Structure 1
């Protein structure tokens, strides 16, 4: 039985400025760095992970750094847990998206499991690569507790598969917050043990915008 701690990166430049990052490589904001430090302390004390994997995008990688330092292991990067490749949506503000790609972005807002970014990945494609990657990580580390620093859409997609069996039900799964921890378990089948643990952040939480 393997436990994966899915950590959403701390508040990034895109989160702070209200634009769609996708795989555009934005840094953490100072608040995001503080969130990463608090989350590292929380998961090491509560869950004692033995390894740390991270998306190679800097906002996830930098969220993993404090965990790496606390447990004394190197970060293992994996592109399979990157955020969705959002094509033409990347670096666009949410207001611009609603105007320029109104039909497609409306699907994202209301039925995200069936959404596809113009010129980028579909959510179904993202879900397939994320679940393939998470399953491989779990099988390679049987019986261990592993930290995985990733992004909002991969975590939400994984929850939809684990809790509902199909990404089309992703609209029923809320977004997780920056610096939060979602705990899943693998023993041939997946189980979700908790979602978006963020009480450890106290007053340092980031509010998710309504138009995402």
Structure 2
């Protein structure tokens, strides 16, 4: 089987990111000024690779980030709500410092292997992986030796890459991510191989307050 090149980028900064508020599937925030600048630099970097499809979640911060890249191509952005961020339920929009203990309890449960543990009103890591993995693989299967650009979310990147790279969902905390960081994978013979993870040097010139 021929290989497929997959680039997975996290969206640019929003005010929720800047202010330390938990931002999941239930928050549809736009990019702030820094996030727009990050997205421009990301698009400039990714435009050196010729791709055949550009895909994002249905959330504004992701598709806004993707749109900067889309403008540099003749491709049409495809939005898919199965690639939306994890739903953090009752914790959405709350300062992470205010719910630090509760978050630690859930993350400790996940690290112990309880990947079906669900935040009240939200999703479990297992549920998120199942919906997003199926969606991502649908684009990969259509690519046929080409290049796919995915613009998604931080926790979702952790969930997908931890499984795809063989760490397991309980080790998703090992996956690092930054706004508009890039992960480059090769999909070949049914397996994902990392070329690089969380690349951010294209963001060095971004003016961050």
Moved over 6 A (4+): none
* Paired residue total: 201
2:32 maps to 29
Alignment of 1:49-198 (within 5 A): 49-98=51-100, 102-103=101-102, 105-110=103-108, 112=110, 114=115, 116-174=118-176, 176-187=177-188, 188-198=190-200
Cα drift, residue 185 of structure 1: 1.9
| Cα distance in 2, alignment partners of residues 184 and 94 from structure 1 | 31
| Cα distance in 2, alignment partners of residues 40 and 87 from structure 1 | 32
The answer to whether the 8 Å contact 2:41/2:206 transfers is no
SS at match of 1:61: helix
| Cα distance in 2, alignment partners of residues 111 and 185 from structure 1 | 31
| Cα distance in 2, alignment partners of residues 205 and 10 from structure 1 | 13
Q: TM-score, normalised by structure 1?
A: 0.88
| Cα distance in 2, alignment partners of residues 155 and 5 from structure 1 | 11
After superposition, give the CA deviation of every residue in 1:41-76 in whole Å (9 maximum; x if it has no partner).
10111x222221011100000000111110121110
SS at match of 2:47: helix
CA RMSD between the two structures: 1.9
| Cα distance in 2, alignment partners of residues 206 and 55 from structure 1 | 25
Cα drift, residue 131 of structure 1: 1.5
The answer to whether the 8 Å contact 1:14/1:20 transfers is yes
Cα drift, residue 180 of structure 1: 0.9
| Cα distance in 1, alignment partners of residues 123 and 137 from structure 2 | 20
Cα drift, residue 78 of structure 1: 0.6
The answer to whether the 8 Å contact 1:4/1:184 transfers is yes
